[in-house]
Amino acid sequence: MSEQRDQREVGGLSRALTAVTRRMLGANRIGDDHPHLHHEHSSAIVDCGLYVDGRRQPGHWHYPEALAAARRREDAFVWLGLHEPEESEFADIASVFDLHELPVEDAIKAFQRPKIERYGDMVFAVLRTTRYVEHTELTEYSEVVETGSVMMFIGDHFVITVRHGAPIALSGVRHDLEDKPDLLARGPWAVAHGIYDRVVDSYVDCANAVELDIDALEESVFGRQGQGRIQRIYQLKRELVEFRRAVVPLQRPVESIVAGRMPEVPKEVRRYFRDVGDHLTRTVEQVQSFDELLNSILQARLAQVSVEQNNDMRKFAAWAGIAAVWTTVGGIEGMNFEFMPERNWRYAYPAMLLLCLAVTAVLYRFFRKSGWL
């Protein structure tokens, strides 16, 4: 009886383990049937799409399966979008796509300098994104330009975009490119062009908005009132420095693409980059002119402050000279010498007051005419 009871317990345990195993296998099959369930737990993955001949394939794709499918065709690639990934989240992605460790380290850290580098068959590109911060009035604490960064890993069958900050969302770029399958059929570099184009367009919009702030600041300094505060000028200059750090260094990477020093870029896509380079050059010239203009405004305001201080000192000196008349007369009369001619004169006090008033009137008119009052 005890042996039969032991056999029943062993059999029950075996059936329980089998049921657990079947549930686990069923869960795995569900994950395989619905690949998007894998990356729902990763907050870094924004979107993952498989594109064949410029058209997005239906369904939800997990990046290992999408990459494997893309490598089976010449006209296919994967676009994986990430937002502020952590090191643990990015480790598996780097392993699947065989990414070099140096750009992976840069991609985890935000706000790298704009650049483009080649690592074997892969290209790593960094862009700084900008957004103009709306404000009713420019103050010494106003944030004018908000910056972020977009980094791209570009390979033969994939493009990985890593976004830090909130100035630009790439969903709009993805939708625009998906409406242009002929361009998207050029491969991953068509995606790179779309991102470059959107980022540079944001530079143009931001530069135009900053120009309006500079015009308002210039009017406040050189207007009739002339009450522009130096702190406002300095704050806008600091924001312009941040904007310049994003725009100016991007010239060299774009020039290397346009000049053909990046053989990975197809000729058809390179033509589109020329337009991006023209817009970027115009924006760089704007930023440089803004910097020179702000320096001129700052120097002019400092000169105005110096003149205002001189005018104040003149006023103080003029009123001090007028007060010196009364002080001198009061000091002499207060000495109380015994032999003073006016002590026995009945009208000495009124005459002294009239003399002081007359001298005060003459000095006031003189200082007023000379511009000291």
151 with 286, same domain: the answer is: yes
Q: What is the pLDDT of residues 156-191, one digit of tens each?
A: 999 999 999 877 888 899 999 999 999 999 999 999
- Domain containing 13 equals 1-33
55 with 194, same domain: the answer is: yes
- The number of distinct structural domains making up the chain is 3
> Where is pLDDT greater, at 10 or 246?
246
**DSSP structure string for 193-261:** HHHHHHHHHHHHHHHHHHHHHHHHHHHHHHSSS----HHHHHHHHHHHHHHHHHHGGGHHHHHHHHTT-
CA distance 372 to 316: 9
pLDDT at position 26 is: 36
| Mean pLDDT over the full length of the chain | 82
Q: What is the pLDDT of residues 206-252, one digit of tens each?
A: 999 999 999 888 888 876 565 557 888 888 888 999 999 999 999 99
315 with 294, same domain: the answer is: no
**Whether the predicted pLDDT of 6 surpasses 60:** no
Last residue of a domain, one of 306, 333, 350: 306
Q: Which of 35-44, 59-68, 131-140 has the lowest mean pLDDT?
A: 35-44
Residue 283: CATH number of its domain: 3.30.460.20
pTM of this structure: 0.73
**Whether the predicted pLDDT of 330 surpasses 80:** no
99 with 194, same domain: the answer is: yes
CA distance 228 to 230: 6
